[in-house]
Amino acid sequence: MKSRISIPLVLVATLCPAVLAQAQDDADVRKELVAPYKKLAEANDRKDLKAIVSLKTADFHPIFPDGRIGDSKLMEQYSRDFLDRNQLPFDMN
């Protein structure tokens, strides 16, 4: 009976350090994933179309709300139209 209980305990004790190591890596992975989004947000705030388009990879194909699949030229036009319509929040100071 003792051996039946000790096997799961050994497995849990063996796997716990691996889970903790994985959790520590998550912060680094999150930083890597968040960085391009921050760059995109900053480019949108500056209304910098060139920077926005440069952040898209060559194989990026957007799917628009109407179901169309876009290419890089269509995405650039869509981004240009978005920037033209998008208004920054009012500054109440």
Report pLDDT for 68: 87
- Per-position pLDDT tens, the chain of length 93: 455 556 655 656 666 665 555 555 788 888 888 999 899 889 988 999 999 989 888 888 888 889 989 888 888 888 899 888 877 666 655
CA distance 35 to 29: 10
C-alpha dihedral over 30, 32, 33, 37, to 10 degrees?
Answer: 120
Query: DSSP label at 56?
Result: S
Report pLDDT for 22: 57
CA distance 88 to 44: 10
Domain ranges of the chain: 2-85
Report pLDDT for 39: 93
